[in-house]
Amino acid sequence: MRWAIREAEKAFEAGEVPVGAVIVCENRIIGRAHNQTETLRDPTAHAEMIAISAAANTLGSWRLEGCTLYVTLEPCAMCAGAVVLSRIRRVVFGAFDSKAGACGSLRNLVQDARLNHRVDLTSGILDAEVSALMKAFFQNLRDVKRSRRQAGGKES
């Protein structure tokens, strides 16, 4: 999870929502990424999606059986769907996402018995550290917007 947090810190520094992900197979990181939706102007450029693509490229297969995804924030429905489709064995995440989480908060897509693949879940790992990073990012964003308003500039 520490490697995922390092990726999240890269996202923070780039002005992205600080989510980081790493995929591990046989004790080796085979994919890593951080959110890049703003940078790439791509709504699918979530850390998990990019890490899954990198891991599939590393293995030369879309099937990531036996792999574990470590991610700082509970995956959304899009990312949870990609986890199921890629056959990732286990997801370990830090903080729950009460607004978009699809691994226990709003729904639990990765363990839905109606799907052909179910994922082992571990949650709350380094939750306090991940939550502090998220809170700092959004506080910083609010501060920047407030400063722009006070200076008479437009919000972006």
What is the SS3 assignment for 85-107?
HCCCCEEEEEECCCCCCCECCCC
Q: Which helix (H) or strand (E) holds 70?
A: strand 68-73
What pLDDT score does 152 carry?
77
Catalytic residue, chosen from 16, 26, 38, 48, is 48
Tell how far CA 112 is from the center of its chain.
Answer: 20
What pLDDT score does 155 carry?
53
Amino acid at 8: A
How far, in Å, are 29, 37, 140, 144 from residue 137 at the CA level? 26, 15, 5, 11
Is 48 a residue of the active site?
yes
Residue 30's SS3 state is strand
- Radius of gyration, alpha carbons of the chain: 16
Give the β-pairing of 90-95 and 68-73: parallel
Low-confidence stretches of the chain (pLDDT beneath 70): 153-156
How far, in Å, are 13, 17, 69, 145 from residue 148 at the CA level? 20, 20, 38, 5
Residue 118's SS3 state is coil
pTM for this structure?
A: 0.92
